[in-house]
Amino acid sequence: MRLSESIRSNLGKLSNVKVLRKYAGKPFLASNEWLWNHLPSSITTARLMRPYGDFLHMLVKVRSERGQYYGTYFFRNRPELELIRALANRRPNGATLRIAVLACSNGAEVYSILWTIRSVRPDLKVVVHAMDISKDILEIAKEGRYSLKSPELVDSPIFERLTDDEMRAMFDREGDQVRIKAWIKEGISWQVADARDPEITNYLGCHDIVVANKFLFHMTPPDAEKCLRNIEHLVNPGGYLFVSGVDLDIRTKVVLDLGWNPIQDLLEEMHNGDSLVRRDWPWKYWGLEPFTKKMSDWNVRYASVFQLNPENYQSN
Binding site for ligand SAM (CB under 6 A): 68-72, 76, 102-105, 109, 132-134, 137, 194-196, 213-215
* DSSP for the chain, written as a single string: --HHHHHHHHHHHHTT-HHHHHHS-HHHHHHHHHHHHHS-HHHHTSGGGHHHHHHHHHHHHHHPPP-------TT--HHHHHHHHHHHHTSPTT-EEEEEEES-TTTHHHHHHHHHHHTT-TTSEEEEEEEES-HHHHHHHHHTEEESSS-SS--S-TTTT--HHHHHHHEEEETTEEEE-HHHHTTEEEEE--TT-TTHHHHH--EEEEEE-SSGGGS-HHHHHHHHHHHGGGEEEEEEEE--SS-HHHHHHHHHHHT-EE--TTHHHHHTS-HHHHHTTTTSTT--PPP-TTSTTHHHHT--EEE--GGG----
CB of 31 to ligand SAM, least distance (A): 30
Nearer to ligand SAM, 39 or 192 (CB): 192
CB of 207 to ligand SAM, least distance (A): 15
> Rounded distance, CA 151 to CA 73, Å?
11
Nearer to ligand SAM, 54 or 109 (CB): 109
CB of 22 to ligand SAM, least distance (A): 29
Nearer to ligand SAM, 95 or 153 (CB): 153
Nearer to ligand SAM, 113 or 117 (CB): 113
CB of 211 to ligand SAM, least distance (A): 7
CB of 102 to ligand SAM, least distance (A): 6
CB of 74 to ligand SAM, least distance (A): 9
Nearer to ligand SAM, 69 or 183 (CB): 69
CB of 220 to ligand SAM, least distance (A): 12
Cis ω before 282 (30° cut-off from 0): yes
Nearer to ligand SAM, 55 or 146 (CB): 146
Nearer to ligand SAM, 20 or 153 (CB): 153
- Partners of 146 in the beta sheet? 178
Pairing status of strand 261-262 against strand 305-307: antiparallel
